[in-house]
Amino acid sequence: MILDILTPEAHVFHGNVDYVTMPGLEGQFQVLTGHAAIISALKSGVLSFKTLDGSLVNEHLTSDNSNTNVFHYKISGGVAEMLGEHVVVLAE
């Protein structure tokens, strides 16, 4: 599936991912390929995802030392939408 992480300042990430874990208002949740359509508000926390193809990663993201394809991005809130095989996170 394709993940886009957008903030008012930057397009933080665009690429193919295996999963995305997000800090929802009611707790952490994860979406995988084939997940039903969803729109969710996000609270302050860490967004985590695993890239499939070595997609371009930039200075905004931190990597998981135990797995070089797993990245984290700290957010202070936002909204996530998954429709089809595309996840868009509008983060603060």
CATH number, domain containing residue 69: 2.60.15.10
Instruction: Please report the pLDDT score of residue 69 as a whole number.
Output: 84
Instruction: Please report the pLDDT score of residue 90 as a whole number.
Output: 97
Instruction: Please report the pLDDT score of residue 1 as a whole number.
Output: 93
Instruction: Please report the pLDDT score of residue 66 as a whole number.
Output: 60
Instruction: Please report the pLDDT score of residue 65 as a whole number.
Output: 61
Radius of gyration of the chain (CA): 12
Q: How many CB atoms lie within 10 A of CB 23?
A: 20
Query: What residues in the chain have per-residue pLDDT under 70?
Result: 53-60, 62-67
What is the tally of structural domains in the chain? 1
Q: How many CB atoms lie within 10 A of CB 14?
A: 13
Instruction: Please report the pLDDT score of residue 52 as a whole number.
Output: 81
C-alpha distance from residue 57 to each of 26, 61, 83 (Å): 29, 7, 23
Question: Residue 52 sits in which domain range?
Answer: 2-91
Pairing of strands 2-6, 86-91: parallel
